[in-house]
Structure 1
Amino acid sequence: MKKEEVKSSVLLLLTAAIWGFAFVAQRVGMQHVGAFTFNGLRFILGSISLLPLLYISSRKSKESDGDKKEVSNNTSVIFAGLIAGSVLFFGASLQQVGLIYTTAGKAGFITGLYIVFVPILGLFLKQKTNVATWLGVLVAAVGLYFLSVNEGFYIEFGDLLEIIGAVFWAVHILVVDHFTKKVEALKLSFVQYVTCSILSLITAFIFEDISLGVIPQVIVPLLYGGIMSVGVGYTLQVVAQKHAKPSHAAIAMSMESVFASIGGLLLLGEVMSLRGYLGCALMLAGMLLSQYDNFKKDKLEVSSSVSD
């Protein structure tokens, strides 16, 4: 393994850890403010944390492309950001409200199902799906049953919200994948975070009692959820994925759910039953199995480089 690949894998694992522990910050934050208020403030902080990177990127772009192309591109970015940000709003809202009724660990694993949902939704875009993907879906579904479905065959309300949220996260990935081929990824992220923040704050003003006096009590979870999870996490992911193999990225990013469970156990004292841990293990196996195509591509690349 090349030195750059090792470095990228470590950075992606660090990103997964940051995002995994963010579930703890999100849950703690809602002890003082509403779900939509927390998301509104969190994503505006994340947007602000991207401003230095945007400034550097803008200077480089002007030097190479010129001002006219910059104006045209910005119009496309705003349009793409509004769409991506709206989808992000639904995913983040469902996740945040779901955390009121479920644990950080369970929310992390269920949210991770977006890895499985992406190839399924890809069928509607005429993307090919192999047998391994469907096997991964089956294994993950069995795991979800063990984790969330109780006696009497009913699912907890919070878990249900996280499942629906995972579908929106999968849609968000497909939307971002579509637009990043046309506009600059960093600018797209900034606009979508601002959009998500505005939609969240509007919803908060309608449905929640907002008190600025409680902000100091929630400042640490907000800073972590905004700057670390959004700003630092996003930057690390972009840097790392330039040199990471798809299979390594899939393994590293799926560990987000594991770190969410570890964070919930260590910081919130959340303990699952043996049945729950079995469900988590099966879901993780299903997530990795659904990424079989990525592992296959890596093997082909290795054999090709050896023959050359």
Structure 2
Amino acid sequence: MKHNQVRQVVFPVITAMIWGTSFVAQSTSTEHVGAYTFNAARSFVGFLALLVVIQIFDAVNRRKQASASPSQEQSAPAESRKTLVIGGICCGFALALACNLQQLGMVAGAGAGKTSFITTLYVVLVPICGLFLKKKVSPAVWLSVLLGVAGLYCLCIKDGFTIAPSDLLVLLCAFGYTLHILVIDHFTQKVDGIKMSCIQFLTCAVISAVLMLIFEHPTWADITPCIGSILYVGVFSSGVAYTLQILAQKDSNPTIVALLLSLESVFGAVSGAIFLHETMTAKELIGCVLMLIAVVLAQIPFPLKKKAKIA
């Protein structure tokens, strides 16, 4: 197997595994700190982790430029830096909305496995929201929506057609991540993705810290027991996994990469069962299967019908 093929397969799977197991770390932290405290801490750690990654990448790029043409050193134009900062702040606001809703749902009682599956619904929601941006949607995506709704019904709807508050928060979080992906899609073609992500984590940390000071009153005694969870999610889920995703998508088939990244929900459910001893009813397991099929189907590039050209 060629190096590019290995990178296209191995890196996304490692990323999905890190993201999936992060739900366990998030779940265990709910016993000690509130949602805003956890996200402020993890986002700041993610910011520091990406600063290190950026320094490494910049050093490598400087060496390449020096060996190729030592006299040609170019700095980013002011307009590009402005777009980078604006993009990072916009992404940070969207990320703060999404991750805080997700963590609030877990604090309210949503398990790691269920949270991972409901969150992954953003893969179906993104192309649907693309309709408002005048983007075409294939019949396969519409089928994915129906399967996703059926899966959500099995996962979330209780007897008497009611939905638990924790599930509703996680469902709203999926919409938050949908907004986050659309904002990233708008800016990522114009600026460096890793640098923009670094700014977004700093923005998310500041927003979460403000909410923490307003609604929560954490102490070091509360934070100390979940330092391991904060470091794991901050360093690995933010720094390592995001970098691997960037490297995986370079010169690769985006459909295959996205398909492998959707395994996040499977790793989340499996790790929840192994480490947290979570169990699901038969109905909830059916819901997981339906949502996994919906996620996979939404990312298969079925061609849209094209009008026949008249000679």
Decide: shared fold, TM above 0.5: yes
Amino acid at match of 1:92: C
Deviations 1:234-280 (A, max 9, x none): 01111111143233213211110011101110111100011111110
Structural mapping, 1:1-308, within 5 Å: 2-58=2-58, 60=61, 66-67=74-75, 69-100=76-107, 101-293=109-301
Which secondary structure state, in structure 2, belongs to the residue aligned with residue 50 of structure 1? Answer: helix
1:136-195 deviation digits (Å, cap 9, x = unpaired)? 110111111111111101111111111111011011111101101111111110000000
Q: Which letter does structure 1 place at the counterpart of 2:165?
A: F
Question: Cα gap change, 1:261/1:79 in structure 2, threshold over 3 Å: closer, same or farther?
Answer: same
Provide the C-alpha distance between the structure 1 equivalents of 2:32 and 2:8, rounded to a whole number of angstroms.
37
Counterparts of 1:79 and 1:55 in 2: how far apart (Å)? 21
Contact map agreement 1:137 1:287 (CA 8 A) in 2: no
Separation in structure 2 between the aligned mates of residue 141 and residue 218 of structure 1, nearest angstrom: 35
Structure-2-length-normalised TM-score:
0.90
The 2-side partners of 1:165 and 1:235 are apart by: 23
CA apart distance, 1:57: 4.0
User: Tell me, what secondary structure is at the counterpart of 2:32?
Assistant: coil
Cα distance in structure 1, aligned partners of 2:30 and 2:256: 34
Distance (Å, rounded) in 2 between the aligned partners of 1:244 and 1:267: 33
Cross-structure match for 1:306:
none
CA separation in 1, counterparts of 2:82 and 2:4?
35
Question: 1:165 & 1:279 partners in 2: Cα distance?
Answer: 18
Partners in 2 of 1:212 and 1:163 — Cα distance? 31
- Kept in 1, the 8 Å contact 2:12–2:257? The answer is yes
Deviations 1:36-72 (A, max 9, x none): 00000001000100112222444537966523x3544
Q: Is the 8 A contact 1:109 1:258 kept in 2?
A: yes
CA RMSD of aligned residues (A): 1.8
Between the aligned residues of both structures, percent identity stands at 40
Q: Is the 8 A contact 2:97 2:176 kept in 1?
A: yes
SS at match of 1:31: coil
Instruction: Give, in whole Å, the separation in 1 of the partners of 2:82 and 2:3.
Output: 39
Measured against aligned partners, the alpha-carbon deviations of 1:74-124 in whole angstroms (never above 9, x if no partner) come to 222111111110011000110010112210000000000000000001011
Matches of 1:82 and 1:15 in 2, distance apart?
24
Structure 1 61/188 Cα, relative in aligned 2: closer, same or farther at 3 Å?
A: farther
Report the number of matched residues.
295
Counterparts of 2:57 and 2:83, CA distance in 1: 17
Structure 2 unaligned segments of length 5 or more: list them.
66-71, 305-311
Q: Which has the higher helix share?
A: 1
Q: Separation in 1 of the partners of 2:249 and 2:189?
A: 16
Q: Which residue of 2 aligns with 1:304?
A: none
**Unpaired segments ≥5 residues, structure 1:** 298-308
CA contact (8 A) 1:61 1:70 kept: no
* TM-score normalised according to structure 1 size: 0.91
* 1:292 counterpart SS class: coil
